[in-house]
Structures are given as C-alpha cells and as structure tokens.
Amino acid sequence: MPEIRYNPITSDWVIIATERAKRPHEFIQTDREKLIVPAYRPDCPFCFGNEDHTPDEIYRLCNDQGWRVRIVSNKYPALSSEGERQWIRRGFFRTVTGVGHHDVVIEHPDHNAAIAGMNAEDVLNILRVYRTRYQELRQDPRVKAIVIFKNHGMEAGTSLEHPHSQIAATPIVPTQFRDRLDMATRFFDTGGECLFCRVLEEELATGERIVAQNADFVAFIPYAALSPFHLWIFPRRHISSFDSTADSELASFASILREVTAKIYYGLGDPAYNFTIRSSPTDEHQTDYFHWYLAIVPRVSRAAGFEMGSGMYINTSLPEASAEFLRSVIVPS
C-alpha cells in the first residue's frame, strides 16, 4: 500500500507511491546529450576576459590568478534596487513595489566548471561571496528575506551554461517563510527545542536517510522527500541565518556541498537541479526558532495537476533507497 508521509518542517504531505516506485538507477539520465563544453566561449558574458559584457559589477573575489567569483546585476532583474518599499491598494487588491535586489553570482571564471568538479577552495570562494553579500543585503532596511538559489541545466530553468547562481532579496516575508517560521515557533513554544535540530537528531538516530556528513554538516533525504533525491544539508549547530556561519563551518559546508553535487553528478548522470539556501527572515536574524539549510532538487520527475490541485506531492521513489544509492556513489577525488 502507498504511504503518505508528513514533513514536520514544511507541513508537506507526500504520497510515497510504492505501487509505482522506481529503483534509484531508473532515474539516471541516460538520454542527456553529452557535449564537450569549452573552458572559454567568446560570446559568453560570464567568461574570464569578457567582463565588460556583463551589467554593473557589484563585487569580486580575487586571488593572484585574478577574479574567482563575481557578483553582477541581473540583466533582467525581477526586483529593482532603486525605489521605496510601498504598499499600493487597488480596490480590494494589494501590491508592494518590487524593490529589493536580484544579483547574479558568476561562480567561476571557466565556462565548463561545475561545483561537482571544482576544487575545495573554488567552492569555498562561492560560499564566501554568498555570505559577504548576504551580510550586506541584510543591512538594507527594505529587505525582509534573502534567498540564494541555483538553477543548473535547462530543465531547472536556466538558459545560461556558464556556472552561476542568484541572490534575491525581497521587500516582504514570503508567505511560505512566515508559515514555516510560525510552525517552528509554536514547536519551540510547546517543547522548548528547535524543530530543525530535532529533525536532524531523529535523522542521525535512524541513519537510514543520511547521505553524507562531516564535522559541521549533515546531508540527508528528508523522511517525506517531495521527489526522488530531494536532499537537505543542515548545519549541526543551531544557526538561524546563513550569514552567521563561521569560517571553519563554511569550509565544511563547501566540502559537503561538493561531495553531494558530485554524487548527484556521477550517480545520476548530471541531471538538471535547483538548490536553494533558506534562512530566517532578516527581522528575525537571530532566533531560536529557525535553522538555515540548503535544499537541492534534481529534476528527475515532474509535478503535474495533482500537485497543483492539492499542494501534495507524489514521489515515485523510496527516500531510504535514494539515500542508500547516493551513499554508495563513489566520487572521483
């Protein structure tokens, strides 16, 4: 019989469709066209040497080889960095001015780099840039929430091949953030513990959904994973906002992020994926109730009418089997 699992952090209900469950290797992307991607493309605005083809540069991190990571303005920003945060009433309906920030992070000078194959220092540099920019954006009084995210591959919604991610800073607290913070707050109020710390404790206790771990971080498939190989990386220490992560922790995070993306790359044949880093809203920067984490979703399945009409999900894989599969993937060093 199928089972319907509940995720206590997100309130998501997920049907684990055992009747139609696939084995992990059935999700390997065998039909993905493998192209030889060059390290440099003259027409790519993000490539080393083409810096004058990008919009305004916001930040760059350099070493003696030159820049390693850059932040530039999004050419088509969803949010404008100019203007005031204002509510506008239109009869019964409401609008907030679309102020905030929408940055592009160019992750590497090389066109063909990928987090899964970068050296540890290169991955750490990306995370350092995320943290620096997060700290800066948080000072903008118009900013109420900051989302760091990456779209890798066409099916994950990107048209640009050069490795990049994005940072969006919104002038409102998204409803989903507020709902989850409320849930976690009530959990703390009634039990005196962080909901996220508790879930991590439970995951470590059973161990069956753990994919990787190190001194500071744990990567696991959630009990009620929304889709095959949907994976979370939690810091072990209670940290509510990404930018409060310490230097030594950031290095551990770089290491586990590289390991997990490499397991996905080699184990599943480089599927498209999205990842996102969730932190507490900026006005609740230090809180007992929220715990930042990274979520990564390989695009190996598709949500359709059922998901749209119910907000529930159907997952055609067993989280425990997915975790076991990824655990066993050997990553070339």
Binding residues for Zn(2+): 44, 47, 111, 162
Interactions with a second copy, residue window 36-75 (CB under 8 A)? none
- Token couple for 88: 């506008």
| Phi then psi dihedrals of residue 204, to 5 deg | -70, -35
Question: Per-residue string for binding with a second copy, 17-36, x by CB under 8 A?
Answer: xxxx----------------
- Token couple for 289: 């109730």
Binding to a second copy by residue 295, rule CB under 8 A?
yes
When binding is defined by CB under 8 A, the residue of 26, 121, 179, 189 that contacts a second copy is: 179
Check if 238 is active-site: no
Question: Per-residue string for binding with a second copy, 88-107, x by CB under 8 A?
Answer: x-xxxxxxxxxx--------
Interactions with a second copy, residue window 188-207 (CB under 8 A)? 198-199, 202, 205-206
Nearest in space to 246 (alpha carbons), one of 256, 235, 257, 255:
235
d(CA 22, CA 318): 8
Name the one residue in this structure whose structure tokens are 């994976």.
231
When binding is defined by CB under 8 A, the residue of 108, 133, 263, 278 that contacts a second copy is: 278
Question: Quick one: which H or E segment has residue 66?
Answer: strand 66-73
Interactions with a second copy, residue window 148-177 (CB under 8 A)? 148-151, 156-158, 165-166, 168, 170-172, 174-177
Residues 6+ apart with CB under 8 A from 10: 180
Interactions with a second copy, residue window 223-252 (CB under 8 A)? 223-224
Based on its alpha-carbon atoms, the radius of gyration of the chain, rounded to whole angstroms, reads 20
Say whether 273 sits in a helix, a strand or coil: strand
When binding is defined by CB under 8 A, the residue of 297, 300, 323, 326 that contacts a second copy is: 297
- Token couple for 238: 């209670």
Nearer to a second copy, 20 or 237 (CB): 20
Nearer to a second copy, 215 or 312 (CB): 312
